[in-house]
């Protein structure tokens, strides 16, 4: 099959807003693909590469060679070149990758170049990724979508699952099982604004667990072999020896557990997320790091214990098996209660000990791998500040032509100026985007055709955020975590905006 066929399909998918039409376009192409190119086609049209990453991003695609006129590149040819690009390493590798990228793009027409540029840049922008592709694979292969979904949660990689369905049908999908050593898509949580709302959403008796601000870890053990995977199914076994040892210390030797690792201080309190993330990301001299920045693991779910798969069992049964297999000092604190007061006490205790919040869990839901199911509801405290908009950036994609990303500043009473604390583009409705684009242009103090438009610091905006963290990037040495817009405060003059001291008092 030719790359141009995929590029045309992608354009058709982007042109139709209806999901069912997108599915039709994708299924139509998939039903024509040769078996040996099925995985490539599923990957490209869902925004993935069979190689996963190849070390090429938008920055290395800034200048491209002229396109050719006649399309002739096959999927196999493109895939081979991407593999060669990925294989480059060591001194001279950047130049070698650049030359191979140029060679690849020289062989493509304008439409193919545009498609591959978006694919490699990680922004396909055709309104279809995994979710739509699952349906398209089902349609093209004549297999129920539920079978595709089930196989995907167990395999975690749609190109492989899609190719299996297209080539081998439902029998091929049935051969996917929970396999120790191969990660499963982790279950995700929905969120609620506060504890009563979370309990209401749960609808019945539930369990509360601490929510730790660390790294999600799916731990597999078969005999004396242990593998640890992150939320995106990357293998971090080598970076977390404490966890490997903890898993080997358990008496069950055929298991898959879900949990969180955090770096802890000598007094047992959690380190800030930045410290945990740095520790887990670091691959050099792990033995030294574990002395200076030790990790602790807290398990909260069991997908398999003593060789028995538990994904489909209710939470309460999985947790009972977890308690059997894991000593209490490796378990996340948990309270089963229907009493709102007890729940509130548990929540405030978790916060007092420095944790991020709690997760409320239904006792009856199965482990919904890969889904953001209503069985888990997270609750975190929310802070707000009134800040001043210092500048705005032009948006991309569906926000093209709109001033989107806000630069936020707190008042500095010493100088009478403002100190930037970060940016946000979240929480804006389309109406608000339109209004702010128009209004900001009247406040601009610089050219409005630059990417960043500086503004007179006159508009106050109420911002919600999760916390203040240390920042090497901003002048105040602090930045807001997960900042989002709540509302504009045209009634409030910038002289009454919150001060940098107020922000500093929130930095732990």
Partner DNA sequence: TTCCGACAGTGGGGTCGCAAT
Partner DNA sequence: ATTGCGACCCCACTATCGGAA
Residues 280-339 that bind DNA (CB under 7 A): 280-284
- In the complex, the smallest distance separating the C-beta of residue 274 from DNA, rounded to whole angstroms, is 4
Rounded CA-CA distance 254/306 in Å is 5
Residue 423 labelled as part of a binding site: no
- In the complex, the smallest distance separating the C-beta of residue 493 from DNA, rounded to whole angstroms, is 25
Rounded CA-CA distance 6/370 in Å is 27
**DSSP strand pairing (188-191 vs 372-379):** parallel
Nearer to DNA, 133 or 165 (CB): 133
Instruction: Find the binding residues for DNA in span 172-191 (CB under 7 A).
Output: 191
| List of residues 6+ apart from 302 with CB closer than 8 A | 255, 256, 257, 258, 310, 318, 319, 321, 322, 325, 326
Which positions from 444 to 473 touch DNA by CB under 7 A, shown as an x/- string? --------------------x-x--xxxxx
Nearer to DNA, 69 or 451 (CB): 451
| β-bridge partners, 261 | 215, 297
The number of CA neighbours under 13 Å toward the Cβ of 465 is: 24
Residue 308 labelled as part of a binding site: no
In order of 117, 151, 377, the CA distances from 461 in angstroms are: 36, 46, 29
**Stretch of 176-184, 210-218, 240-248, 342-350 contacting DNA, by CB under 7 A:** 210-218
The token duo for 26 is 């994708």
Nearer to DNA, 69 or 292 (CB): 292
Among 205, 372, 490, 495, binds DNA (CB under 7 A): 372
Question: Active site residue: 86, 211, 380, 423, which one?
Answer: 211
Sign (positive or negative) of CA dihedral 348, 353, 354, 355 = negative
| β-bridge partners, 484 | 464
Among 107, 362, 424, 437, binds DNA (CB under 7 A): 424
Annotated active-site residue 426? The verdict is no
Instruction: Find the binding residues for DNA in span 107-166 (CB under 7 A).
Output: 123-134
Cβ–Cβ under 8 Å, residues 188 and 372:
yes
- In the complex, the smallest distance separating the C-beta of residue 305 from DNA, rounded to whole angstroms, is 23
Site membership for DNA, residue 425 (CB under 7 A): yes
Residue 487 labelled as part of a binding site: no
Site membership for DNA, residue 431 (CB under 7 A): yes
- In the complex, the smallest distance separating the C-beta of residue 251 from DNA, rounded to whole angstroms, is 27
Site membership for DNA, residue 47 (CB under 7 A): yes
Nearer to DNA, 321 or 457 (CB): 457
> Closest by alpha carbon to 454, among 392, 398, 394?
392
Residue 378 labelled as part of a binding site: yes
Which positions from 244 to 283 touch DNA by CB under 7 A, shown as an x/- string? -----------------------------xx--xx-xxxx
Residue 231 labelled as part of a binding site: yes
- In the complex, the smallest distance separating the C-beta of residue 253 from DNA, rounded to whole angstroms, is 25
- In the complex, the smallest distance separating the C-beta of residue 332 from DNA, rounded to whole angstroms, is 14
Instruction: Find the binding residues for DNA in span 375-414 (CB under 7 A).
Output: 378, 380, 393, 395-399, 404-405
- In our burial notation (b when 16+ CB lie closer than 10 A, e otherwise), range 201-217 reads ebeeebbbbbbbbbbeb
Nearer to DNA, 165 or 252 (CB): 165
Phi, psi at residue 387, to the nearest 5°? -120, 170
Residue 300 labelled as part of a binding site: yes
Nearer to DNA, 34 or 242 (CB): 242
Among 15, 31, 35, 95, binds DNA (CB under 7 A): 95
The token duo for 197 is 């709302």
Q: Count of residues binding DNA (CB under 7 A)? A: 92
Q: Is 248 helix (H, G, I), strand (E, B) or coil?
A: helix
**Stretch of 104-112, 241-249, 315-323, 429-437 contacting DNA, by CB under 7 A:** 429-437
Rounded CA-CA distance 389/384 in Å is 15
The token duo for 469 is 């963290």
The token duo for 325 is 């297999």
Which positions from 476 to 505 touch DNA by CB under 7 A, shown as an x/- string? ---xxxx-x---------------------
Cβ–Cβ under 8 Å, residues 46 and 122:
no
3-class DSSP string for 361-409: EECCCCCCCCCEEEEEEEECCCEEEEEEEEEEEEECHHHECCEEEEEEE
In order of 44, 75, 121, 226, 276, the CA distances from 22 in angstroms are: 15, 21, 21, 41, 41
Site membership for DNA, residue 430 (CB under 7 A): yes
Nearer to DNA, 53 or 328 (CB): 53
| List of residues 6+ apart from 454 with CB closer than 8 A | 390, 391, 444, 445, 446
Site membership for DNA, residue 221 (CB under 7 A): no
Phi, psi at residue 73, to the nearest 5°? -70, 130
Site membership for DNA, residue 223 (CB under 7 A): no
> Closest by alpha carbon to 66, among 112, 98, 123, 119?
112
Site membership for DNA, residue 53 (CB under 7 A): yes
Nearer to DNA, 296 or 423 (CB): 423
What are the binding residues? 209, 216, 231, 260, 300, 372, 378
Binding region for ATP = 209, 216, 231, 260, 300, 372, 378
Catalytic residue numbers? 211
């Amino acid at each position: 099959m030719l790359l141009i066929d995929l590029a045309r399909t992608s354009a058709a998918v982007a042109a139709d807003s209806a999901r069912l039409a997108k599915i039709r376009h994708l299924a139509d192409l998939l039903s024509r693909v040769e078996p040996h190119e099925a995985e490539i086609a599923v990957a490209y049209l869902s925004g993935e590469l069979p190689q996963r990453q190849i070390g090429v991003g938008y920055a290395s695609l800034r200048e491209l060679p002229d396109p050719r006129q006649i399309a002739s590149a096959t999927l196999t040819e493109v895939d081979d070149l991407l593999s060669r690009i990925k294989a480059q390493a060591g001194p001279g590798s950047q130049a070698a990758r650049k030359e191979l990228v140029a060679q690849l793009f020289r062989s493509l027409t304008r439409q193919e170049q545009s498609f591959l540029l978006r694919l490699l840049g990680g922004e396909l922008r055709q309104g279809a990724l995994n979710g739509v592709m699952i349906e398209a694979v089902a349609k093209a292969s004549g297999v129920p979508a539920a079978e595709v979904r089930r196989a995907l949660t167990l395999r975690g990689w749609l190109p492989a699952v899609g190719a299996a369905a297209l080539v081998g049908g439902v029998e091929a999908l049935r051969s996917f099982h929970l396999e120790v050593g191969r990660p499963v898509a982790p279950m995700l949580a929905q969120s609620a604004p506060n504890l009563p709302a979370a309990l209401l959403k749960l609808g019945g008796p539930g369990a509360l667990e601490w929510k730790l601000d660390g790294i999600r870890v799916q731990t597999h053990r078969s005999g004396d072999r242990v593998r640890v995977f992150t939320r995106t199914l990357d293998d971090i076994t080598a970076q977390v020896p404490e966890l490997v040892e903890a898993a080997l210390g358990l008496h069950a030797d055929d298991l898959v557990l879900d949990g969180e690792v955090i770096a802890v201080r000598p007094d047992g309190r959690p380190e800030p997320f930045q410290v945990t993330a740095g520790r887990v990301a670091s691959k050099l001299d792990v033995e030294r790091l574990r002395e200076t920045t030790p990790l602790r693991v807290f398990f909260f779910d069991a997908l398999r214990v003593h060789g028995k798969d538990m994904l489909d069992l209710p939470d309460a049964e999985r947790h009972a098996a977890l308690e059997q297999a894991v000593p209490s000092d490796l378990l996340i604190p948990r309270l089963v209660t229907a009493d709102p007061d007890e729940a509130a006490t548990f929540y405030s205790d978790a916060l007092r000990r420095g944790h991020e919040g709690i997760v409320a869990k239904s006792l009856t839901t199965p482990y919904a791998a890969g889904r953001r199911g209503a069985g888990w509801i997270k609750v975190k405290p929310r802070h707000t500040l009134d800040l001043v908009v210092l500048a705005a950036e032009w948006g991309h994609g569906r926000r093209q032509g709109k001033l989107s990303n806000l630069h936020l500043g707190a008042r500095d009473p010493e100088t009478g100026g403002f100190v930037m604390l970060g940016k946000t583009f979240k929480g804006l409705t389309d109406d608000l985007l339109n209004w702010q684009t128009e209004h900001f242009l009247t406040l601009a103090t610089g050219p409005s055709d630059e990417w960043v438009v500086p503004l007179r610091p006159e508009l106050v905006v109420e911002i919600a955020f999760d916390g203040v963290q240390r920042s090497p990037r901003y002048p105040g040495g602090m930045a807001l975590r997960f900042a989002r817009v709540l509302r504009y405060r045209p009634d409030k003059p910038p002289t009454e905006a919150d001060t940098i001291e107020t922000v500093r008092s929130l930095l732990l």
